[in-house]
Structure 1
Amino acid sequence: IPLIAANIIKEWAKRKGFLPGIFLAIHTFGRDLKRNIHIHLSSTAGGLSLTYDSWLRGIYFYHQSLKKTWRYQIIALLREEFKKGYLKLPSSLKHITTYHEFYSWTTQFYEKTWVVHLNEQSDNMKANVEYLGKYLKRPPIGETRIKHYDGNTVTFEYLDHYTNIKETLTLPVLDFIERLICHIPDKHFRNIRYYGFLANRLRGKLLPVVYKLLDIKTLITTKVYLSWRTLIQTAYKYDPLRCPLCKSIMLLKTVVLPSYYSLVSKHEEIARGYFPLLL
């Protein structure tokens, strides 16, 4: 699916005569931590000419066209996966047993509106970097959204996109943990991907060309090692060691696990639901 999203942009750009730079992040969670798989894709508005000798500007994407293309490509993918026998249908669709039946059933989705949200182009480089950067290591929930924990339940805050109102949700501890660990990606799965002139196989060759065409000076940088606390304070504007209730500074004393149980060694089993939690 990420490749489909990137290829839609690349193919459209190719018809306009340029190669864009694309950054893509895969998210599996919604604000309330339920599984809600979606893609955040950022692309340059314009890009490198196909002859690699000029930068094309002032090119925009057409919303309705993108929505229709995305819908077509995803429906085509589902049909192809079903045809190959890779698609597992829920019990509510057990009556669909042949490709012809599945093909007919998926036709209805051409009549529905598919959500493809486009942000306006931004020339604010700092805002763009901050927007992209927060997706590199963004967890399903920030610590500041956790409002209370009493040993049995966890209460956290989230923004309801339908009402645009902040809501609070209280869950039993194990239910809260279950919602978190279902978003742990498989080993070696890449949540962050790059395409176009930012693709790994092209960036070494094409980024210097882009820098030259845009008159961007290559900076000599010095590595500065910051503590995890300072990094969080800089990026998210809050102190992770300050208690959200009493506002005092917290100290990590120790982490205690039963000697017969290693949470780290059983990380994958827990995420996949194969290992019982021993509390």
Structure 2
Amino acid sequence: MEGQATAGSVARILLPPGIYVPHELNGWVRLHPRVVYRLLFHSVWQTLQKFARNPKRLNGELGATMVLHTWGQKLDQHVHLHVLVPAGAWNKQTKQWHPADSTYLFPVKALSAGFKGRMVSALRHGYEQDDMPNITRNGEVNRILEESMNKDWVVYTKACHGKPERVLDYLSRYTYRIAISESRLIDTVDDGVRFRWKDYRDGQHKVMRLSGVEFIRRFLQHVLPKGFMRIRHYGFLSNRYRRVKLAEINEVLRHSKVYENKTTPDEISSFVESPLDPKLLWFCCHCNLFHLRNMPWRRMFLESLAFFRI
């Protein structure tokens, strides 16, 4: 991630660290990963935008950066998106920034239900349009989609308050990691591979042994289709419009009374160098990559998120 921060910019960052696809759809992912991943990105963004554009909510356009992860701690298939969202929306008609009013951007249950309905509808439409020709049995399709609709889909949200520049810096160190790091590998025993994993049910670190063939099979299922972009930007953070729209938002926020204590460029630079207190970190319980810092809630807004590129 390359970045340049400008004092007096957008608002605090909210991060839904996990938007998860139920395991009933893992078979579809294996058969048509490109289609399912594309629909996942699209469904999440459309759901967020629908909530944001509601006049009773934020009445504007969101910005978002999404990162696709496909693995769990045991190299099993666990498809989910990490979504970084500035806590507010930009109304281009009125040229106003509408900040989020609460710790959570939108109600989690409503967001989950909206995403589930949109994703299942998109999958059904894709199947009917023959975008997934390897899925052939109508009865099986209907059963899986009905089971998926009857489940509660996991959308877990949590706010990052205070100095999100540190979060952006920290996230950038993990953006391009793969399903398992070399540090987790222990050794090869006979025809097997041993590696460490964390069991989040009891919080214990454990050792798993897989045959060489099974280890390779699990690893390869996380190799993305050729040319597929696992990091995508949307709304006022999209590559096409980011510079212009953030400049407009910055100009509005510079004159806002909400932002009284401006963060200086020197302070921003120091964030990159200063270490994070491990006691204040939390992380995704599945891919174990995204560590975030929980900070005092009274620092409501970020004065210095500006132009960055992943």
TM-score norm. by structure 1 comes to 0.66
Report the structure number with the largest CA radius of gyration. 1
Contact 2:236 2:246 in 1 (8 A): yes
| Structure with the largest fraction of strand | 2
Given the alignment of the two structures, is residue 140 of structure 1 paired with residue 179 of structure 2, yes or no?
yes
User: CA, structure 1 residues 103+146, in 2 after alignment: closer, same or farther (shift >3 Å)?
Assistant: closer
After superposition, give the CA deviation of every residue in 1:122-152 in whole Å (9 maximum; x if it has no partner): 3332442145324421211122222234574
Given the alignment of the two structures, is residue 96 of structure 1 paired with residue 135 of structure 2, yes or no?
no
CA shift for structure 1 position 65? 0.7
Cα distance in 1 for partners of 2:94, 2:190 equals 59
TM-score norm. by structure 2 comes to 0.60
Query: Which residues of 2 match residues 124-163 of structure 1 at below 5 A?
Result: 124-150=163-189, 152-163=191-202
Identity fraction in percent: 22
3-state SS of paired residue (2:240): helix
The match for 1:18 among 54, 60, 80 is: 60
Cα distance in 1 for partners of 2:189, 2:249 equals 54
User: CA, structure 1 residues 161+11, in 2 after alignment: closer, same or farther (shift >3 Å)?
Assistant: same
Q: Which residue of 1 aligns with 2:106?
A: 61
Contact 1:78 1:87 in 2 (8 A): no
Q: Unaligned regions of 5+ residues in structure 1, if any?
A: 221-233, 238-279
Cα distance in 2 for partners of 1:52, 1:217 equals 27
Contact 1:28 1:35 in 2 (8 A): yes
User: Between Structure 1 and Structure 2, how many residues are aligned?
Assistant: 217
TM-align CA RMSD? 3.1
Cα distance in 2 for partners of 1:188, 1:104 equals 32
Q: Which residue of 1 aligns with 2:240?
A: 201
For 2:154, give the aligned amino acid: V
Q: Unaligned regions of 5+ residues in structure 2, if any?
A: 1-39, 255-261, 267-274, 279-310
Given the alignment of the two structures, is residue 118 of structure 1 paired with residue 163 of structure 2, yes or no?
no
User: CA, structure 1 residues 151+209, in 2 after alignment: closer, same or farther (shift >3 Å)?
Assistant: farther
User: CA, structure 1 residues 169+128, in 2 after alignment: closer, same or farther (shift >3 Å)?
Assistant: same
After superposition, give the CA deviation of every residue in 1:199-235 in whole Å (9 maximum; x if it has no partner): 1111121122233334488969xxxxxxxxxxxxx99
The match for 1:179 among 218, 227, 235 is: 218
Q: Which residue of 1 aligns with 2:26?
A: none
Given the alignment of the two structures, is residue 70 of structure 1 paired with residue 112 of structure 2, yes or no?
no
